[in-house]
Amino acid sequence: MGHREEIKVSEEELLLQKHFIEKIRNINLEFEQKHGRKKTMFISTFGCQMNARDSEKLDGMLKEMGYINAQEEKDADFIIYNTCCVRENAENKVYGNLGYLKKAKEKNPELKIALCGCMMQQDIVIETIKKTYKHVDIVFGTFNLYKFPELVYANIETGESIFDIWKEHKEIIEDLPSIRKYPFKASVNIMFGCNNFCSYCIVPYVRGRERSRKSEDILKEIRELVADGVVEVTLLGQNVNSYGKGLDEDIDFARLLRKVNEIEGLERIRFMTSHPKDLSDELIFAMRDCEKICNHIHLPFQAGNNEILKKMNRHYTKEHYLHIIEKIRKEIPDIALTTDIIVGFPGETLEQVEDTVDVVKKARFSGAFTFIYSKRTGTPAAKMEEQVDEETVKKGFNMVLDALNPIILDINKQKVGKTYKVLAEEYDEESKTLKGRLTDNSLVHFSGGERLIGHIIDVKITDCKTFYLIGKVL
């Protein structure tokens, strides 16, 4: 009974937001008739693929309101910053841009400025915006994205700045309009939030507890995407391995993958991110058995030293992580493995970084996102003593890169002379070349016409660099 009630609320909420979209569209139509042009919008996305997916939804709602894309931010009538708070430099960039927009708003009083995303879930950020950036029109967080049309309309009607920040999620709203960046590939949220509370990470505090979408809603969305020309989907969650917990249905991530694999017309399945602590044998078997799942897994290990892993609250050891890698490679020998690495966590010594280097050498990663530890206010790690000095961090960081980069290059060299299926994704007019990805997520540059975009084609690898391959169409 409670389950049906949640769906009913969601449908009512969706209808209400469509009502506000219609009202704003009529306002924008009047503007177009008066000024002879449509209103324009620009969305800047900071942070992860979850944010990128949220921006697609915002883009879809704005298009339904009658906005069109601005060529550049300075030309826009509506600017949204979808923010990230995982790294300090992303926050600083947002504040810097807001300072510039104050002058832009003085020139164009009609300009609307909206802020959303993870930064907005922090009280200190909201205080700063209210005090220093009073020219911002609309501020909302990660839990009430679907209310965006209502917030825009409230701002238009009242002329007042609108702040709508929820401290926790309510229901998941399905069927929000969205505009995909690529017509041939799409990201699909399978869950929201995170329960892991890694000591360096702000995400659980700003994205809330884990909640999974029903499998029927996920499958319906993917089928609709495939019918609309999508050949590749990426399933998104802060920890996809936790998918299904708390749902009424008996399902986990491995079983969801098998269901997605059965969708006719879909050619490639990707997913991120996996947490090592609960990567199951069933998931490994599903990846092995399902021909549409790409032979790539992103499995962050963050640090190789057990003492540091414990302080990070990662719930696994170096030995456990390497054992998982061994199991994956046994079942899927040609799989590409990528990871995240943090250097300079509080108290980490150069001797402990050697454990990270050891994991890099043993796991032989095809790629990695390497980060210098960034202190995030509100996380347990921010209060830890022994914050590492800059010189030690740089030395440790270089130790990791010196181990990592030759391995990546060596893996790429082994691909030279071989032919692979590549999804052509982008065309560069200047160099007249295409960019695309192998199923193992390797980036390849190759010559070919724009007509190939969105198609999976045979490409022979002729050369390589450390971070990409060079090829030619067969």
Sheet holding 185-189, edge to edge: 185-189, 232-236, 268-272
CA dist 340 and 58 (Å) reads 28
Extract the tokens encoding 312: 């990070």
The DSSP code sequence of 27-73 is HHHHHHHHHSS--EEEEEE-SSHHHHHHHHHHHHHHHHTT-EE-SSG
- One-letter amino acid for residue 381 of the chain: A
Q: What is the pLDDT of residue 6?
A: 36
Q: What CATH code is assigned to 419-473? A: 2.40.50.140
Domain 8-164 identical in fold to domain 185-413: no
Q: What is the pLDDT of residue 466?
A: 92
The one-digit pLDDT tens for each residue of the chain (474 residues) are 333 333 334 566 777 788 889 989 999 999 999 999 999 999 988 877 777 888 888 999 999 999 999 989 888 999 999 988 766 667 778 888 888 888 888 888 889 999 998 888 777 888 888 888 889 999 988 777 888 998 998 888 888 888 887 765 555 555 555 556 788 999 898 988 888 888 888 777 666 778 899 999 999 999 999 999 999 999 988 889 999 988 889 999 999 999 999 999 999 999 988 999 989 999 999 999 999 999 999 999 999 999 999 999 999 999 999 999 999 999 999 999 999 999 999 999 999 999 999 999 999 999 998 988 887 777 888 889 888 998 999 999 999 999 999 999 999 999 999 999 999 999 888 788 999 999 999 999 998 888 999 999 999 999 999 999 999 998
Distances, alpha carbon 118 to alpha carbons 5, 9, 46, 50, 176, in Å: 29, 25, 10, 10, 20
Cis geometry, peptide bond prior to residue 392 (ω within 30 degrees of 0): no
Phi, psi (degrees; rounded to nearest 5) at 208 = 80, -175
Residue in 79, 86, 129, 69 with CA at minimum distance from that of residue 104: 79
Beta bridge partners of 434: 427, 446
Token pair 């790294």 in the structure block, residue: 87
Enter the pTM of the model.
0.70
DSSP H stretches of helix in 194-289: 203-207, 215-227, 253-261, 281-289
Q: What CATH code is assigned to 185-413? A: 3.80.30.20
Residue in 238, 236, 240 with CA at minimum distance from that of residue 205: 238
Q: Domain 8-164: give its CATH superfamily.
A: Cobalamin-binding domain (3.40.50.280)
Query: In the chain, where are the structural domains located?
Result: 8-164, 185-413, 419-473
Rounded to 10°, the helix 281-289/253-261 angle is 10
